[in-house]
Amino acid sequence: MMKIIGAIGDAHSMTENEVDSFLERKLNLQLATIDEMGDPNIQPIWFEYDPDKKKLFVMTPKASKKAQNIRRQSKIYFSIDDESFPYKGVKGKGEVVILEDPEKIMHIVEKINLKYLGTLDHPLAKMLIDNTREGIETVLEITPKFFSTWDFGKT
């Protein structure tokens, strides 16, 4: 069971099932890392959520700024929100492990592409899958410490 706290009080907090359902949606995850100067770096990124493991997965090139930052500091912050009213979202702090074995991450890369592009035949999906095979693309496995949630559809 994941620790869930209300970002603006318990009246607008989501349940664990509501969080699981929300994280299945096609939204961007805002990933915050810390750069070599100690400054925050925030990137919007596609993600996949595993409700059984309570983990978030994102893909990024091995040489990306976020991957470089995570190699130095594995603690991150994330936020996923729906900009349509009634506003709702999930944010939290987590630890990241970089997964690089193409055979072990290919199924995650395919899931992410299917979620956001609807097909693996899209040119972008083909490029990302080829990059994964070649070891260019990695997957970041985020283990959240908690979910801080809000849902303005609740009164």
pLDDT tens profile 41-95? 999 999 999 999 999 999 999 999 999 999 999 999 999 999 888 899 999 999 9
Q: Is 102 helix (H, G, I), strand (E, B) or coil?
A: helix
Which of the four pLDDT bands, split at 50, 70 and 90, describes residue 104? very high
Q: pTM surpassing 0.85? A: yes
- Average pLDDT of every residue of the chain: 93
Please write the tens of the pLDDT for every residue from 23-54.
999 999 999 999 999 999 999 999 999 999 99
Tokens of 7: 């970002």
Contact 140, 58 (CB under 8 A): yes
Provide the pLDDT for residue 5. 64
Q: How confident is the model at residue 12 (pLDDT cuts 50, 70, 90)?
A: confident
Per-residue tokens: 121: 């035949």
- Vertex 30 angle, CA 29 and 31, to 5°: 105
- For residue 150, the model assigns a pLDDT of 87
CA distances for 1 relative to 80, 141, 144, 151, angstroms: 20, 18, 12, 20
pLDDT of the residue at 14: 87
In whole angstroms, give the CA distance from residue 66 to residue 140.
10
